[in-house]
Every structure is written in structure tokens, then in C-alpha cells.
């Protein structure tokens, strides 16, 4: 991790249809955001908010139950336009690395921007940590965020499907994976001088 570069760990929660037969024109909309801004493995700022959906403003029972989000929380949230403005504030230079667990967060954000006729707020590199985790450990299937952190013998931060808690957990598992990558890098071969202290050896025979 570059000590001067900013990494944004982001998690969104989305609207969900009541069942598999989506209503006409349905698409997932962001209703909660969690963001952790990190420089040099230190958290420099966080942001969390509920977001009002535009197309389907009334949450389904399935969505409310699965995410433990109430209609009142969403009604009192920020608008999607305000969300995009806030994301721009966290990345004004458009150079941050965006890290998510899975690829849906950025896909839904991009689609929501298109529907709202707003510019996508990020131009920096986007990294799907779940795919990196899968490739690193040679798993056949993608692992869920909290299962992945538990495989490290750790626990997730706070509550699963709370956007800020999931973003923080993504940051924590990112540190674990990065440390493992460094550990497995081939070390520089040692020289005989590194292995033998010649000053002590010569003193022994003086």
C-alpha cells in the first residue's frame, strides 16, 4: 500500500424486489453508503448515510427485512445527487483507488448515475477485493465478505449489511491479504556475509 496514495473502501446497500419477478423497469438503487478513506493504512475519514431511491421509493418487505433498514431511515436520507457530490468531495483529484468486495457496488453506482443523468464520480483504479482473494487462495467460488474475514480467524466489524461496517471490514481484510502477499514474495537471497558475522569469527581465532 502506497503511504501517500488514497484508498477508498466503499460499500453500498441496494433496493431489492419482493421476489424474483422484478416489477417493470426495476433496477437496484443505492439506499445506504459506507465509505472509509485510507492513506498509509490509517483511516483519514469515514462517511455513512442512507440514500433516497428515485425510481422505486417504497422499500419492499424483503428489502427491509434482509437489510434491517426502515422506510423512515431511507425517507430521511440524502438524495442520490447529494451522494455523488459527497463521493466527489472524497476524491477531488479523481486519482484514488476504489476498493469494494465484489463488482456490484460500482456497477450499480454507474447504472444509477446513468439513470440520474449524473457523471460517474470516479476515474481512478477500481479493485474487486473478492476476486483478488479468490485468486490468491485459489478458491473455485467467490467468498462472502464476512466468511472471508472469519477464515482469517477474525470477526467482521459491527453488523453485516450495514454499509459502513462492511466497508470497514473490507479495509481490515485488505490489510490481511496485503500482508500475506508480502510474506509470500520471494525474499532476496542472503549472502554469506549476512549469515556469518566475520568480526566475531576473526576474534575467535585471534
Percent of the chain, pLDDT > 70? 88
**pLDDT tens track for 44-75:** 999 999 999 999 999 999 999 999 999 999 99
What's the rounded mean pLDDT across residues 22-40? Answer: 94
CA 24/CA 29 separation, integer angstroms: 14
Mind listing the pLDDT tens digit for each residue in 169-192? 999 999 988 888 777 665 555 455
**CA 48 – CA 69 distance, rounded (Å):** 14
Superfamily of domain 6-205: Ribonuclease H-like superfamily/Ribonuclease H (3.30.420.10)
Positions marked catalytic: 13, 161
The pTM assigned to this predicted structure is 0.85
Question: Domains of the chain: which residue ranges?
Answer: 6-205
Residue 152, CA distances (Å) to 125, 143, 202 in order = 26, 12, 47
* pLDDT beyond 70 at 193: no
Amino acid at each position: 500500500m502506497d503511504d501517500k496514495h488514497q484508498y477508498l473502501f466503499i460499500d453500498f446497500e441496494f433496493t431489492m424486489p419482493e421476489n424474483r419477478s422484478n416489477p417493470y423497469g426495476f433496477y437496484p438503487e443505492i439506499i445506504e453508503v459506507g465509505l472509509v478513506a485510507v492513506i498509509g493504512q490509517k483511516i483519514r475519514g469515514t462517511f455513512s448515510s442512507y440514500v433516497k431511491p428515485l425510481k422505486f421509493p417504497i422499500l419492499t418487505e424483503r428489502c427491509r427485512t434482509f437489510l434491517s433498514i426502515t422506510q423512515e431511515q431511507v425517507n430521511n436520507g440524502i438524495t442520490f445527487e447529494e451522494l455523488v457530490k459527497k463521493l466527489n468531495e472524497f476524491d477531488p483529484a479523481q486519482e484514488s483507488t476504489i476498493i469494494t468486495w465484489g463488482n456490484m457496488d460500482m456497477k450499480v453506482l454507474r447504472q444509477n448515475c446513468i439513470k440520474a443523468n449524473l457523471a460517474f464520480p470516479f476515474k481512478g483504479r477500481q479493485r474487486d477485493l473478492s476476486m483478488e482473494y479468490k485468486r490468491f487462495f485459489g478458491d473455485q467460488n467467490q467468498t462472502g465478505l464476512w466468511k472471508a474475514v472469519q477464515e482469517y480467524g477474525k470477526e467482521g466489524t459491527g453488523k453485516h449489511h450495514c454499509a459502513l461496517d462492511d466497508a470497514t471490514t473490507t479495509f481490515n481484510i485488505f490489510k490481511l491479504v496485503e500482508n500475506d502477499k508480502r510474506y509470500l514474495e520471494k525474499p532476496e537471497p542472503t549472502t554469506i556475509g549476512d549469515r556469518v558475522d566475520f568480526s566475531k569469527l576473526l576474534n575467535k581465532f585471534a
